[in-house]
Structure 1
């Protein structure tokens, strides 16, 4: 049995330069071909030594590209058949580029029998192989239909291509969310829209595929991507919650990201045991996921399990703060906020409510937060994750009277700063992932009656603190600390000794 070792960091380091180096032989060979055609047509005047120099560097760069490409392939995640063809085509480019240079060079050309006859065929073959290898390289990276996916009519019909597929699984409104198959109609469309582009039968990054239920269960080279019953302990969710600039964040930066609602649905599905054959009505629909499920429906609202009829819960109402009439933001205030590096976007064309994000402003800190107060009426969604803000910024954020969602993941805030949020009447969502918040901070949050969703993953809170908060705010869905069953178990363990008989204790 042969044990295959994982490639070294050095191999993968140089391998990742393949996409950069591979452009050099492309440029050199095409320049050589164009100059040769121009010279033979009398359009340009060049010596053989110039063409020979260009061919030499094309051969060298093609060889280096082959080497780096091989190192990149050690990382896995590519369709084997296409990869093998791409490798041999790349080697062919390098070989025929060397042949073209040898027969063209002043030093070796005269020593090679029939060298002058080999030159043009070698150059042509190297260029043809270059184009074919480039096509297969694109197929490895983007899928086999990357070049032809958007071919319009009538060219599709003329080429004998099948009609274009808009998408493998479209995210369509559901007539009755409660009766929807939770994986097939709710979870799978999200995976198809956001994950399958890089994890499919032809391109399986990390040996991971999301295109079928069987492949999703199997996982990738790092093992399973989800742990049934433990959403926030699952790699599928962890990767989505990492900072956007983190190399491990999924989907990668530059790709369309999952929305908060989509992450909530995936996490809820895993928390419910990741079933593949049940309906939404068969599961417990938590308060945190109800709005996300309601967005999928066009008929009956998502009401929860069959034990809780949809009519009893009703559809999740649109938050008042998102529909109220507010004046347009002052142009000067908008410019001031943008100068701090923040991205300002309208939530809709019809309303004046704004979303402000620090996705490209890591240096944003407490001193910059005062600029936000000029948007106190319009700002309803504030994303300050992975910035330098601390408790000082929270004193300014407290003035944003219409704030609806607040992201403070991986910031410097402490328990003391959270008391500033008590006066925000519309705050329903608060993300404190990766902060130093402890039980003392949770006590401050108990007074925010509007709060419905709280993220506490990787904080310093304890089961006792979470149980106390749930008691004070039963409407609050806490994500990332303990689930409701764990909280109930903890509460039972705390009270049990007081009612347990000595005899039972001994047993």
Structure 2
């Protein structure tokens, strides 16, 4: 076994032809299983019921079982060159497979009408060879299943009392068993949110028995270790983290994860993983201890009513009184949605019944004016648009102006200016506008005076003055304008923090 492992370690990276043929192993491996089992059943039937079965028929079946077992060994070896398997289980599976082929050839040779008689005492070897071949077949099948699905694949759902009688440990709670989170704010981010996502979508191929690319995602330590190419997470920077990048690749791409054909990450799951990484990948903190952005609120809200894996798309949505929520909009063009996704944007349903959509650039920091030309193709369906921290300029706002049902718009930390705000005049349902960190001035926010439904505007770190705010308030007296933390807000914050500290001391 040691020599086999050393041989693998010293072998140069396999070429594409080896990996191509190796992928046929799961197909070929079923042939010797069928042939050898048929041969065994025919021999059993012949012995127990004295049925006349042609010796030539059994010989022919044994021949093809030996040939297919040999081919399965060859293709299995080529498949193993790709790496990512537990060495001990792989070695056992390999030798068991070779044993099946060897004993199938022995049984065929002894049974053959011309070769058999030439082998001294050959008939004495026939049934032992056939029996050992069948036993090795079962063992190889079990280890093959362990390599693909995990060592507990066969025994995972063993019921009591058989589990205790067989000495099998109590069944680990599966993701399907996890109940909806009663209080999302108090949920442990990794244990209750991130780990269930990884377990349902990633751990099948990245576990102790099967670690594709030398990557395991079953424990915090292994996640932090990364793969053979290095770390897969850059804490605080999801857009630079390989874990997120491979999920955003087109599904046809060989590097896309999970691979095509496997259950894919939902938009909510991807949003939650992105948020976790951007918050520094904490393994021991609660939701309430992290910054919860507007982008992630719908995904977190879904955990209280859906499965722990977040497969149910539930959004907190805009305020109930907003007329845009009661509208029955036409269904979105799937091609238009796919075009935005190829540009790196997340497209989330706010309401499946009315077809409202949220579009977010949380993972597309390089989104720019050229790519924004695709937005008007969903002019009726986009209700929330989040372009914060991207490369958009005033030119993009000319496209945004065509989103006639837009209710929430994020433009924080972008290059938009006063000139761009003129494009927002004709958005009748706009209620929320975030201009934090932009270059807008008093002259620019005057353009907002005609937006009668506008309720909240964020103007932190802009060039807007108190005088400009006061002027806007004359036109929109109920508008909430957030200019950042003033002296009163800071005092309130300190007071609240002191009260929390005293409360902790009292405990």
TM-score above 0.5: yes
The partner residue of 1:264 within 271, 286, 296 is: 271
Deviates more, 1:107-116 or 1:288-297: 288-297
Q: Deviations over 1:177-230 (max 9, x none)?
A: 444443333322322333223322122222211111000011122332222222
Query: Is 2:225 the partner of 1:273?
Result: no
Are 1:228 and 1:270, in contact at CA under 8 Å, matched by a contact in 2?
yes
Which of 231, 236, 240 is equivalent to 1:233?
240
- Spell out, residue by residue over 1:335-379, the C-alpha distance to the aligned partner (whole angstroms, 9 max, x if none): xxxxxxxxxxxxxxxxxxxxxxxxxxxxxxxxxxxxxxxxx6574
TM-score (norm 1): 0.66
Q: Give the C-alpha shift of residue 5 in structure 1.
A: 2.6
CA displacement at 1:96 relative to structure 2: 0.5
> How do 1:481-492 residues align onto structure 2 when only pairs under 5 Å count?
none
Q: 1:48 to 1:217 in 2, by over 3 A?
A: same
**Residue among 409, 427, 433 paired with 2:383:** 427
Q: SS of 2:230's equivalent?
A: coil
Q: How far 1:247 moved relative to its partner?
A: 3.9
Distance 1:468 1:181 in 2: 45
CA-CA distance at 1:154 after TM superposition: 4.4
CA deviation map 1:424-462 (0-9, x unaligned):
5x622689xxxxx9974453125647355889xxxxxx9
Counterparts of 1:401-416 in structure 2, within 5 Å, are 402-405=354-357
Is 1:184–1:276's contact at 8 Å kept on the other side of the alignment?
Answer: yes
1:134 to 141, 155, 174: 141
Contact 2:301–2:316 under 8 Å retained in 1: yes
1:389–1:87 Cα change, 3 Å: closer
Mapped to 2, the partners of 1:389 and 1:273 lie a distance apart of 25
Query: Which residue pairs with 1:182 in the alignment?
Result: 189
C-alpha spacing 1:166/1:282, structure 2 compared with 1 (3 Å): closer
Q: For residues 251 and 389 of structure 1, what CA distance do their matches in structure 2 show?
A: 17
What is residue 63 of structure 1 aligned with on the other side? Answer: 70
Cα shift at 1:485 = 8.5
Cα distance change of structure 1 residues 225 and 106 upon mapping to structure 2, 3 Å threshold: same
Kindly state the Cα deviation for residue 35 of structure 1 after the two structures are TM-superposed: 1.7
Q: Residues of 1 paired with 2:253 and 2:267: CA distance?
A: 18
Distance (Å, rounded) in 2 between the aligned partners of 1:324 and 1:260: 21
Alpha-carbon spacing, 1:230–1:115, altered in 2? closer, same or farther (3 Å):
same
Q: 1:211 aligns to what?
A: 218
Unaligned runs of 5+ in 1: 299-314, 327-375, 391-399, 432-436, 456-461, 479-483, 496-507
Q: 2:399 aligns with which of 444, 452, 476?
A: 444
SS in 1 for 2:383: coil
Q: Would you say the 8 A contact 2:24–2:75 is kept in 1? A: yes
Distance 1:161 1:85, change over 3 A: same
Whole-angstrom CA distance in 2 between matches of 1:239 and 1:139: 26
Tell me, in whole angstroms, the C-alpha distance in 2 between the residues paired with 1:78 and 1:468: 58
Distance 2:397 2:299 in 1: 25
Contact 2:36 2:65 in 1 (8 A): yes
Aligned to 2:448: none
Q: Residue 78 of structure 1: CA displacement? A: 1.1
Query: d(CA) in 1 for partners of 2:90 and 2:132?
Result: 20
Q: Is the 8 A contact 2:329 2:356 kept in 1?
A: no
Give CA deviations for 1:131-163 in whole Å, capped at 9, x if unaligned: 110011011100111122223344434544344
Paired with 2:418 and 2:238, the residues of 1 have a C-alpha distance of 20
Q: Is the 8 A contact 1:287 1:477 kept in 2?
A: no
Whole-angstrom CA distance in 2 between matches of 1:440 and 1:266: 31
Secondary structure at the residue paired with 1:126? Answer: helix
Q: 1:30 aligns with which of 23, 31, 37?
A: 37
Q: Residue 349 of structure 1 aligns with which residue?
A: none
Moved more, 231-240 or 160-169: 160-169
Two-structure CA RMSD over aligned residues (Å): 4.6
Q: Is 1:193 matched up with 2:149?
A: no
Question: Unaligned regions of 5+ residues in structure 2, if any?
Answer: 1-5, 306-314, 343-351, 365-369, 425-429, 441-459, 464-507
Task: After TM superposition, give the deviation of residue 382 of structure 1 in Å.
Answer: 5.6
Query: Which structure has the greater CA radius of gyration?
Result: 2
The corresponding residue for 2:476 is: none
Deviation at 1:75, TM superposition (A): 1.0
**How many Å apart are 1:129 and its aligned residue?**
0.5
Taking the aligned partners of 1:468 and 1:150, their CA distance within structure 2 comes to: 64
Does 2:144 align with 1:144? no
Deviation at 1:256, TM superposition (A): 3.5
Distance change in 2, residues 1:53/1:423 (3 Å)? closer
TM-score for the superposition, normalised by structure 2? 0.66
Describe the shift of the 1:408–1:217 C-alpha distance in structure 2 as closer, same or farther (beyond 3 A): closer
Could you report, residue by residue, the CA deviation over 1:408-428 in whole angstroms, capped at 9, with x for unpaired residues? 999xx975554454455x622
**Equivalent in the alignment of 2:346:** none
2:28 aligned partner: 21
* Equivalent pair of 2:326/2:354 in contact (CA under 8 Å): no
Per the alignment, do residues 416 and 377 of structure 1 end up closer, same or farther by CA in structure 2, a change over 3 Å counting? closer
Counterparts of 2:191 and 2:165, CA distance in 1: 35
- Give the secondary-structure state (helix, strand or coil) at the position aligned to 1:266: helix
Q: 1:263 Cα deviation (Å)?
A: 0.9
**1:115/1:402 CA distance change after superposition, 3 Å:** same
